[in-house]
Amino acid sequence: MTSLSNKNEIYSHTALRGIAALMVVLVHFRSFFHSSIDPDDVTSFLLKGYLWVDFFFILSGFVLSYVYAIENPVRRSFIEVTHYLIARFARIYPLHLISLAMVLLIFMIISLISWNQKGEFCCVLDGSLRTAGSLLANLFLIHAWGMFDWVTWNLPSWSLSSEFFCYLIFAALLTMDGNTRKLALIALSCVVLVYYGFSLATGDDIDENFRLSIVRAISAFSIGIVLFLGRQTTASVSEKWLTAIQITTMVLLLLSLHFGVTDVISIALMALIVLSTWEDRGALCNWLTARYLHALGLFSYSIYMWHYLIKYIALEDWESITGLPIQSSISGSVILVTCLISLVIPIAIWSYRSIEMPARKWVSSRLIGLLEMRYAPANTKSTDKSLLATG
């Protein structure tokens, strides 16, 4: 099976992933601003910031289709699909597990402090967001599969759970031959039409029903797959016109988020940005391929996974450490948000280099080693039999 090492990286998409992660950080940190400078009073840009997660899903669908050549009609073998699943598991699970353990540790420490000061052991399990059942579901990465009404434990990890579901759907696509795969893609396209059609008909934000998280994810993910299959539509477009498409689409996206238009329009514009940048051509791509934006994309997963825990710790300890109130003064809120944003990126860099990448390589090598140990003897025997038969 084709691996990423055999494919040219789409630098623009890497940078876009980093920008999307930073947007999500701003969305969550905006709650620290003083009410007199509340950005939601001026613009819906951050209020609609949950759509950047859908942007992640679209990018994921496109990039996986690119890396694993989904257009190839040949059915993939069990070994190839297993290698794919190992790569996906090693990509998302280790950091998810470590961040989940850190969240659990933080709440245990808070509980011990409470027990020491008040004689109450509280806060680890709260009966709503943090329960034993939701902790178990988080461990298995199924906590966004419709069993809970809202996010639990490390809140951003709900999108990992939804994306993990998409990975399984993609694995199923790889096991199909050309005709069966086409039928499956048609079925997924119908899911897209029904889901977004329902959103348009009702006027609901797609962020409102958490129990439909996997439907939301697979809809955006499927858009990414379809975009990849139709990617050649931009190949004949000159760089001048491609630049015009990119800039126009970006401006329209910013305006749609600012004015808070229906989510489906914003998602369609995000999809067009993904399609128009996949060749790394055009003025927008020239900007996106800058080294610092590419680096931001590499660190995006760590940024995404740690920022909410950083926010929670700051919410608990900022006032006691600095003496500045969080929301009752403009200065306190501005300084806090500035400090948090300045803190997230270096922590993400450290996490990427010291936790994310080493853990990914270790898990991947171990699991692939076990897979080869399990199936290498059988392959060897079958090779020996073939040689004997030939002799």
pLDDT of residue 339: 81
Any idea where the domains of the chain sit in the sequence?
4-390
Rounded Cα distance, 310 and 313, in Å? 5
Query: Could you tell me the two tokens for 29?
Result: 């940190």
Q: Is 190:202 a contact under the CB 8 Å cutoff?
A: no
Residues 87-96, mean pLDDT to the nearest whole number: 94
Q: Token digits for 323?
A: 């003496």
% of the chain beyond a pLDDT of 90: 56
pLDDT digits (tens, 9 = 90+) for 194-213: 999 988 888 878 888 889 99
Place of tokens 């329902």: 198
- pLDDT at site 115: 63
Q: Look-up: residue for tokens 């809140």?
A: 155
Sequence-ordered list of residues with C-beta below 8 angstroms from that of 223, at least 6 positions apart, any chain: 58, 61, 192, 267, 271
Residue 320 CB neighbour total at 10 angstroms: 7
Q: Is it the case that residue 96 has pLDDT exceeding 90?
A: yes
> What is the predicted pLDDT for the residue at 253?
96
**CA-CA distance, 354 to 359, in Å (whole number)?**
8
What predicted TM-score, i.e. pTM, was given to this entire model?
Answer: 0.88
